Amino acid sequence: MSARDLAAAAPPRIGLLDAGPLDAITDVAGVTVGHATLDDGAVQTGVTVIHPHALDPYRNKVPAGAAVINGFGKSVGLVQLEELGQLETPIALTNTFSVPAVAQAQIRDCVRANPETGRALPTVNPLVLECNDGFLNDIQRMAVGDDHYRAACESACAQVPQGAVGAGRGMSSFQLKGGIGTASRRVPLAGGHRTVGALVLANYGLLPNFVWGGAAIGATLADALEAEAEARAAAAGPEKGSIIMVLATDAPLDARQLARLARRAAAGLARTGSVYGHGSGDIAVAFSTAYTLPHLPEDAMPAVPLVHESLLDGLFQAAADSVEQAIVNALWHAETVTGRDGHRRQALRDLLARTG
C-alpha cells in the first residue's frame, strides 16, 4: 500500500450498528471533550477532560458506574464513585505521576465555583484516571499542572482530536503509538434511538497479540519491527500497559445499570488482543446524561423511567463496538513520536505504509 493509498484509506469499521454523526463520545448530547498537549523534547504528555454537560457538575451530578477489569492503576475518585454512583467533576485523564496535580486542579475549580466547598458544603470527589506514559515522557518531571487542566477544560467542544493528543500524547499500544480514540453507536430502543459513545486512553497490549478489526496482524507487524530492539524486548515480556475506557449514553440508566454497561467495555477491549495482563490497569467508567442528581437535599430527586433490564442488550453491544472502534481510531490517528532519551513509538499507519 502506498503512502497516498494509506492516507486516503479508513480504519476498519466495527460492528453493524450505525455511528452518530461525529462517530465520537460527543454524539451524546451535551458531552464535550478538551485536551492540553505538552510536546517538548523529553516531555510528551498532557491532560484530557470529558464534561458530561455544561452545568456545574458539583451541583448537577450525573449517575455513573465503574468497572475495574484489572486494578493495576493509581486513579483518584473511584471508591466514592462506586459507593454513590455519581460524578461531581469532569472526568480527567493524564499520566500516572500527574494524578495528584490534576485532582488538586479539579478541587480548586470546584471551590472557585462553590466557595463553601469543604466548609458549609461537603467536600468534592475529584475523578482522575491515568496510564503510565513513562516510555516516551519523562514522567518524573511532573510537568502537568493547574494551567494545563484549565486549558483542557476551556478547549472542550464537540470536535474531538484523536491520537497523540492530550493525555494520549505519550501513550503506547502494542509497541506502537497509542493515545486518545473515540467512537459512538446508535441503538434502536423503545420506538426511537439512544446513543452510546466511548473515549479511550489506549496504552496497553503486546504486539504479537494485536488484532485489527478482526484480523490477527500482530505477528506480521512484530516481524516488521524486528530491527527495533526495545519493541522486540517489550513484545517478549509481560504486559505492563493500561487503558481507560469512558462510556457516555443518553439512555436513562441508574448507577447499577451503568456499572453493567461499563463491564461490557471489556468485550471490545478483548477483541483487540488484550488479555488484561498482571501489570495492566484496565478501568471503565460509564455515565448517563438523561438526568441530573441535585446536590442539595432540599431539591427533589428526579423521577425517571429507567430502561428495562431486558432491553439493555443493544446498549451492551454498542458499548463493546464503540470501545473497539475507539481503540482502532486511537491507533489509526496517532503519529510517530520521539521522546525521552530518544525513545520512539512508530505510528501504525507509518508501519503499514512501510510494510504494505
Q: Which of 133, 138, 250, 282 is catalytic?
A: 282
Of 284, 289, 225, 215, which Cα lies nearest the Cα of 253?
289
Q: Which of 280, 288, 321, 322 is catalytic?
A: 280
The count of other CB atoms within 10 Å of the CB of residue 344 is 14
Q: Which of 172, 173, 184, 242 is catalytic?
A: 242
Four-point Cα dihedral 214, 218, 221, 223, nearest 10:
-140
- d(Cα 337, Cα 283) in Å, to the nearest integer? 25
The DSSP annotation for 87-133 comes to E-S-EEEEEGGGHHHHHHHHHHHHHHHSTTBTTTBPP---EEEEE--
Amino acid residing at 266? A
Q: Is 98 a catalytic residue?
A: no
- d(Cα 62, Cα 249) in Å, to the nearest integer? 11
Q: Is 242 a catalytic residue?
A: yes
Of 260, 263, 268, which Cα lies nearest the Cα of 306?
260
Q: Is 254 a catalytic residue?
A: no
- d(Cα 328, Cα 339) in Å, to the nearest integer? 23
The count of other CB atoms within 10 Å of the CB of residue 299 is 11
φ, ψ (nearest 5 deg) of residue 70: -145, 125
Residue 293 DSSP SS3: strand
- The helix or strand, by DSSP H or E, that contains position 187, with its residue range, turns out to be strand 179-189
- d(Cα 292, Cα 295) in Å, to the nearest integer? 9
Which residues are part of the catalytic machinery?
242, 280, 282
